[in-house]
Structure 1
Amino acid sequence: MEPSDYLETAVREVLTGDEPAVDRQVGHAALLLATAGAAESADRLVTQWASVTDRPASSLAADAVRARAWAMLFEARGERPQWAESLPPLDLDEEERAHQAFLGRTVSDLDGLFEGSPVAGVVGALAPGRPDPVRTALAEADLDRWAELVTNRPSPDVAALAATRTLAPRLVAGADPLGLGPEWPQQCAGALVAALRERYPAGRESWPDLVAAVLRLRGQHSAGPAAPADVSAAQQRLGVRLPDDYQDFLAVSDGLPADVVFPRLLPARELRGEGDVVIVSEPATVLLTRTGGDWRAIEVDLTHGSSAHPSFRALLEHHLRLLEASA
Structure 2
Amino acid sequence: MEPLSTPSGDFVEAAVRVVLTAADDAVDAEVGRAALLSACVGAVASGDRLVRQWRRVTGRPVTRLAPDPVTARAWAMTLSVRAELPEWAGEFSPLDLDAEENAHRAHLARSRGRAGVESALAGLAERAWAHAEAGNLTEARAAIDEWGHLARDVPDPDVATLAGCRPLARLLVGGALTVPAGWAEEYADALIAALHTRYPRDAAESSWAELIDEILLLRGGSDTAPPPASADEVAEAEHRLGIALPESYRTFLATCDGLPADVVFPRLLHVAELSPPAGPDGTVVISDPPVLRLRPATAEVLEEDPVFGLSVHRDIRAVLEQHRRLLEASL
CA distance in 2, matches of 1:92, 1:259: 41
Query: Which residue of structure 2 aligns with residue 157 of structure 1?
Result: 158
Give the alignment of 1:90-239 within 5 angstroms: 90-105=95-110, 132-141=119-128, 142-176=143-177, 180-208=179-207, 211-215=209-213, 217=217
Q: Secondary structure at the match of 1:152?
A: coil
How far is 1:23 from its partner? 1.3
What is residue 73 of structure 2 aligned with on the other side? 68
User: Which residue of 1 is the match for residue 324 of structure 2?
Assistant: 320
Query: What amino acid does structure 2 have at the position aligned with 1:155?
Result: D
Q: CA deviation at 1:107?
A: 7.5
Q: 1:109 to 1:63 in 2, by over 3 A?
A: closer
Distance 2:209 2:25 in 1: 26
Q: Which amino acid aligns with 1:315?
A: V
Residue 172 of structure 1 deviates from its aligned partner by 2.3
Q: CA deviation at 1:184?
A: 2.8
Q: 2:39 aligned to 34, 43, 49, which one? A: 34
Q: Look up the match of 1:123.
A: none
Query: After the TM superposition, which residues 41-60 of structure 1 pair with which residues of structure 2 at under 5 Å, given as runs?
Result: 41-60=46-65
Structure 1 contact 215–221 (Cα < 8 Å) conserved:
no
Alignment partner of 1:78 is 2:79 = no
Inter-partner Cα distance in structure 1 for 2:192 and 2:43: 15
* Structure 1 match to 2:14: 9
Pair 57,106 (structure 1): closer, same or farther in 2 beyond 3 Å = closer
Give 1:137's aligned amino acid: L
Q: Distance in 1 between matches of 2:245 and 2:145?
A: 68
SS of residue in 2 equivalent to 1:21: helix
The Cα RMSD (Å) is 4.7
Q: Partners of 2:329 and 2:89 in 1: how far apart?
A: 21
- For residues 101-145 of structure 1, the C-alpha deviation after alignment (integer angstroms, 9 at most, x for no partner) is 3323367769xxxxxxxxxxxxxxxxxxxx944323212324245
- 1:154 is displaced (CA, Å) by 0.3
Q: Which residue of 1 aligns with 2:264?
A: none
Cα distance change, pair 264–99 in 1 and its aligned pair in 2 (3 A): farther
Give the drift of 1:35: 1.9
- In structure 2, distance between residues paired with 1:207 and 1:187: 26
1:310 to 309, 313, 326: 313
Contact 2:225/2:259 (CA < 8 Å) preserved in 1?
A: no
Shift of 1:18: 1.9
1:255 to partner: Cα distance: 3.1
Matches within 5 A, 1:278-317: 288-289=294-295, 295-298=299-302, 309-311=312-314, 312-317=316-321
What is the deviation of 1:240?
6.7
Rounded Cα–Cα distance in structure 1 between residues aligned with 2:299 and 2:204: 21
Separation in 2, partners of 1:265, 1:40: 28
One-letter amino acid of the structure 1 residue matched with residue 194 of structure 2: A
- In structure 1, how many angstroms separate the alpha carbons of the residues matched to 2:206 and 2:147? 48
Cα deviation digits, residues 64-123 of structure 1 (max 9, x gap): 33233233223434222345354455443343333223323367769xxxxxxxxxxxxx
Equivalent pair of 2:284/2:294 in contact (CA under 8 Å): yes
The CA deviation at 1:220 is: 6.3
Q: Distance in 2 between matches of 1:185 and 1:295?
A: 41
Q: Mark the CA change 1:71 to 1:260 in structure 2 (over 3 Å): closer, same or farther.
A: farther
Q: How many residues align?
A: 289
Unaligned runs of 5+ in 2: 129-142, 218-222, 262-266
What are the superposed Cα offsets for residues 176-208 of structure 1, whole Å, 9 maximum, x if unpaired? 26xx42243233222222222322334234242
* SS in structure 2 at match of 1:175: coil
Deviation (angstroms), 1:167 = 1.5
Cα distance change of structure 1 residues 322 and 157 upon mapping to structure 2, 3 Å threshold = same
Change (3 A) 1:207 1:76: closer
**Residues 1:257 and 1:20: Cα distance change in structure 2 (over 3 Å):** farther
Contact 1:138 1:164 in 2 (8 A): no
- Report the Cα distance in structure 2 between the residues aligned to 1:152 and 1:57, rounded to whole angstroms: 29
Distance 1:264 1:64 in 2: 49
Q: Which amino acid aligns with 1:214?
A: I
Given that 2:257 and 2:269 are in contact with CA atoms closer than 8 Å, whether structure 1 keeps it comes out as yes
Identical amino acids, percent of aligned pairs: 38
- 2:28 is aligned, of 23, 27, 46, to 23
Task: State the SS of the aligned residue for 2:203.
Answer: coil
> Aligned partners of 2:64, 2:242: CA distance in 1, in Å?
47
Unaligned runs of 5+ in 1: 111-130
Structure 1 residue identity aligned to 2:54: W
User: Do the aligned residues in 2 keep the contact of 1:27 with 1:60 (CA within 8 Å)?
Assistant: yes
Does the CA-based 8 Å contact 1:23-1:59 persist in structure 2? yes
